[in-house]
Amino acid sequence: MPPRRDRLTREELAGVSLDLAPALLGAVLVHDGVEGRVAARLTEVEAYMGGDDPGSHAFGGRTARTTVMFGPAGHLYVYFTYGMHWCANVVCGPAGAASAVLLRGGEVVAGHEVARRRRPTARRDVELGRGPARLATALGIARDENGADLCAASGRLWLERGDPVAPDAVRTGPRVGVAGAGGDATAFPWRFWLEGEPTVSTYRPGTSRRRRGAGGETL
């Protein structure tokens, strides 16, 4: 019987800032759903540094959507994007800071069958949680989990301390897909991943989708 893993505490998460965002690497997010339990070891995360970060949803102040980000640490901020995907963040830092860490990739370490049912297009296990929306889907995270408290004594979502990661296995780079204001939102190396992990999403430069109807229109 493996030793019971303890959970990351709200105090710890409140202390997570830029320097400590990689502290979430190696941690294991667990979801107990009606379909069963799925657990994923985080291999890739990305920091969003509050209302002054032009790449953050919190930029420009609190809205209905970003209310959870402005609350205390240890809650899940779940957002919907591109008309079909849900992505999950862990709110970090002191209450009101509106900082959060986007969970971009993880290795499913328990509940493969359930995860595979939710992600039928995954051809191999590594595809179950490679990418933020894929990871959320594999874990059964969607609208209902927005605001979920990861540090509550009883809850169906929590964050377990993983095995320590070797410091020199942590890599950093620019954030993915963040257009930001003036493009400088990608200037900061606020993406963190574990070198050599196949569940780390492949880097894609920000929004290169061709603009439609920018100028003349029709045609």
Partner DNA sequence: AAAACGATACACT
Partner DNA sequence: GTGTATCGTTTTT
Binding residue for DNA, selected from 3, 4, 19, 84, defined by CB under 7 A: 84
Cβ distance to DNA smaller for residue 122 or 151: 122
115/109 Cα distance (integer angstroms): 10
**199 interacts with DNA by CB under 7 A:** no
**218 interacts with DNA by CB under 7 A:** no
Cβ distance to DNA smaller for residue 5 or 127: 127
Binding residue for DNA, selected from 212, 215, 218, 219, defined by CB under 7 A: 212
Binding pattern to DNA, positions 44-73, x when CB under 7 A?
--x-x------xxxx-x--xxxx--x----
Cβ distance to DNA smaller for residue 121 or 154: 121
- 52-61: b (≥16 Cβ within 10 Å) or e: ebbbbbbbee
- By the 8 A CB rule, do 48 and 104 touch? no
**133 interacts with DNA by CB under 7 A:** yes
Query: Closest distance between DNA and the C-beta of residue 154, in Å?
Result: 27
Using CA atoms, how far residue 101 sits from 36, 110, 172, in Å, is 25, 22, 14
Cβ distance to DNA smaller for residue 85 or 156: 85
Q: Which of residues 92-121 bind DNA (CB under 7 A)?
A: 100, 102, 119, 121
Q: State the number of binding residues for DNA (CB under 7 A).
A: 48
Query: Closest distance between DNA and the C-beta of residue 197, in Å?
Result: 14
**173 interacts with DNA by CB under 7 A:** no
Residues with Cβ within 8 Å of residue 87, at least 6 apart in sequence: 78, 79, 81, 102, 103, 132, 133, 136
Residue 156 CA neighbour count, 13 Å, CB half: 15
**149 interacts with DNA by CB under 7 A:** no
Name the site residues for DNA (rule: CB under 7 A).
46, 48, 55-58, 60, 63-66, 69, 77, 79-85, 87, 89, 100, 102, 119, 121-122, 127, 131-135, 175-179, 201-202, 207-214
